[in-house]
Amino acid sequence: MAVTIRDVAALAGVSPSTVSRTCKNHPSISRETKEKVRRAMLQLGYEPNVPSSAEKASQLIGIILPPSSRDVYENAFYLEAIRGVSQFCNNREYVSTVVTGQDDKELLGAVRTLAKDEHAGGFVVLYSREQDPIIDYLYNEGLLYVLIGKAKQYANQTIYIDNDNLLAGQEATEYLYSLGHRKIAYVGSEYSMLFSAERRAGYQLALARHDLPLIADYCIEADQISLDSNAPFHELIRQKDRPTAVVASDDILAVALKRVCMQQGLSVPEDLSIVSFNNSLFARITSPQLTSIDINSLQLGIEAASQLINHIENPNLLATKIIVPHSLIIRGSCRRLDG
């Protein structure tokens, strides 16, 4: 079995990221530590796949978007998070670059190429999902990365920045309940994306708290392809016992749902109340404006870059977990039910 960077780290008694930076002759690693790591590399016969003669500090930060051919580029959350990462990197004189791919294979290839750059300091991953080959690669290669979202893989060793999405989903549902709604649906992105799964779990907790039934037909998983036809939304509002309110995991989903309501002769909020997430431009330019949970996308990006650079410059820090607060922005897309 081939020797890995983690084998070297275990023998030298340091973190894998320290081994990686030793291979790049990073100035943040002491001479004594470098010598210890190099002795371990020699003993194990480990051959680094990056140049060992780089004298300049690693200053390149890769910002990894989820694999997609289109929809992530239309989502304001990713744009705001990128802005936050770039803003912090600029202030600290680090260079940031966006890494994309249409599928896992293309994205992984782009990440591998960037990782070979002698100035690559680490990565910010803008999403979290189950069984992600990108995270597997970053972890197994000992590359430094920060995750935006809850860590599903290697949780104890992962630096991540997140919202309390379960609580946010619960609060969105509780708000609709407080307005008198009892038939509340949930529309989310694919549930392999952990933020949507957590928000749905919060929605379910709120229903259970008030002894409301969980109706399978009220829970919809809508990806970008299905949004082109809006078929799931048509099915939702055509139900004989249709919901009076919906929690949508993203403003884009909420806007698409509003469009279907108009096509079916229904009005928001008179016939259907909607609470969405992200408080993006989409929430503010539609009429009526959307009640939306602001997850502070910009701050998520800033915190991710801050933690990454802090760990680059202080390699022996433990993995940190940071929760960024959210807030409910009440606008005109919800109404109180009479009686």
User: pLDDT tens for residues 56-84?
Assistant: 454 899 999 999 867 777 789 999 999 99
Predicted local distance difference test score (pLDDT) of residue 328? 98
Q: What percent of the chain has pLDDT over 70?
A: 92
Whether the bond between 288 and the residue before it is cis, its omega within 30 degrees of 0, is yes
Q: Which three-class secondary structure state does DSSP give residue 166?
A: helix
Q: Are the CB atoms for 220 and 236 separated by under 8 Å?
A: yes
Domains 1-56 and 165-295 share a fold: no
> For residue 190, what pLDDT band results from cuts at 50, 70 and 90?
confident
> For residue 228, what pLDDT band results from cuts at 50, 70 and 90?
low
- Considering the entire predicted model, what is its pTM? 0.82
pLDDT surpassing 80 at residue 51:
no
Give percent helix, percent strand, percent coil of the chain, each to the nearest 5.
45, 15, 40
- At the second CATH level, the architecture of 1-56 is Orthogonal Bundle (1.10)
pLDDT surpassing 60 at residue 288:
yes
Q: Write the class of the CATH domain 57-163+298-325.
A: alpha beta
Predicted local distance difference test score (pLDDT) of residue 205? 98
DSSP state of 75: -
Q: 180: which 2 tokens?
A: 């008198």
Buried b / exposed e over 58-97, threshold 16 CB at 10 Å, is bbbbbbbbbbbeeebeebbbbbbbbebbbebbeeeebebe
Predicted local distance difference test score (pLDDT) of residue 55? 40
Is 165-295 a CATH 3.40.50.300 domain?
Answer: no
Q: How do beta strands 159-162 and 145-148 pair?
A: parallel
Q: Are the CB atoms for 294 and 148 separated by under 8 Å?
A: no
Q: Are the CB atoms for 65 and 78 separated by under 8 Å?
A: yes
Domain chopping of the chain, boundaries: 1-56, 57-163+298-325, 165-295
Q: How far apart are CA 267 and CA 264, in angstroms?
A: 9
Predicted local distance difference test score (pLDDT) of residue 199? 96
pLDDT surpassing 80 at residue 28:
no
**For the chain, what is the mean pLDDT?**
89
* β-strand partners of 125: 64, 147
Of 114, 163, 158, 113, nearest to 132 (Cα)? 158
Total length of the chain: 339
Predicted local distance difference test score (pLDDT) of residue 284? 94
Write the CB contacts of 112 (distance below 8 Å, at least 6 apart in sequence).
Answer: 137
Q: How far apart are CA 225 and CA 215, in angstroms?
A: 24
